[in-house]
Amino acid sequence: METPTASCDIQIRVRYAETDAMGYLHHAQYFVYFEQGRTELLRQSGVRYRDMEERGIFYVVARLECRFRAPAHYDDVLTLTTAADRLTPVRAEHSYRLMRGERLLAEARSTLVSVGRDGRPLALPDDLYRRLGGVAEPPAVV
């Protein structure tokens, strides 16, 4: 029910191995960048995703959507903006904008679900939820 407004910019330089025979950054690689963006957005909130996994909480991707506007090339320096759009104790929605200078290359959205070691949905512990910007549900008014 929350709308955290956190966002985070990172710079990524396209590696040669990430291009394809068309000479473009391969489209599947964008999702690797988006995941890197989420890692850094979490870190900015004081949460290391690797620590979450050590506590047995995993974010799995439930949905991805991406519009590709213009290609990127080897050695381009890109700016990825990752924003946390919506957070509940078991879901997180993010949006992404990938730019090269002023040029928009891609826009995307994702939905993650938090699960436990057994792969079943698991609510974030309170401390984690609050650090990520979640607001505790108010007690029901009688």
- Asked if residue 45 binds a copy of itself (CB under 8 A), the reply is no
Contact 30, 106 (CB under 8 A): yes
- Asked if residue 23 binds a copy of itself (CB under 8 A), the reply is yes
Q: Count Cβ atoms below 10 Å from residue 88 Cβ, excluding itself.
A: 16
Options 3, 55, 56, 75; binder of a copy of itself; rule CB under 8 A: 75
- Asked if residue 79 binds a copy of itself (CB under 8 A), the reply is no
- Asked if residue 130 binds a copy of itself (CB under 8 A), the reply is no
36 token code pair: 């890197």
How far is 112 from 83, CA to CA, in rounded Å?
Answer: 13
Contact 126, 36 (CB under 8 A): no
Nearer to a copy of itself (CB atom), residue 60 or residue 136: 60
How far is 36 from 18, CA to CA, in rounded Å?
Answer: 14
Nearer to a copy of itself (CB atom), residue 2 or residue 35: 35
Contact 57, 122 (CB under 8 A): yes
* Closest distance of CB 32 from a copy of itself, Å: 4
Residue 20 burial by CB count (10 A; 0-12/13-18/19+): exposed, middle or buried?
exposed
Contact 73, 24 (CB under 8 A): yes
- Asked if residue 22 binds a copy of itself (CB under 8 A), the reply is yes
- Asked if residue 90 binds a copy of itself (CB under 8 A), the reply is no
Options 32, 104, 135, 136; binder of a copy of itself; rule CB under 8 A: 32
| List of residues contacting a copy of itself (CB under 8 A) | 15-17, 19-24, 26-29, 31-32, 35-36, 39, 48-50, 53, 58, 60-68, 71, 73-75, 119
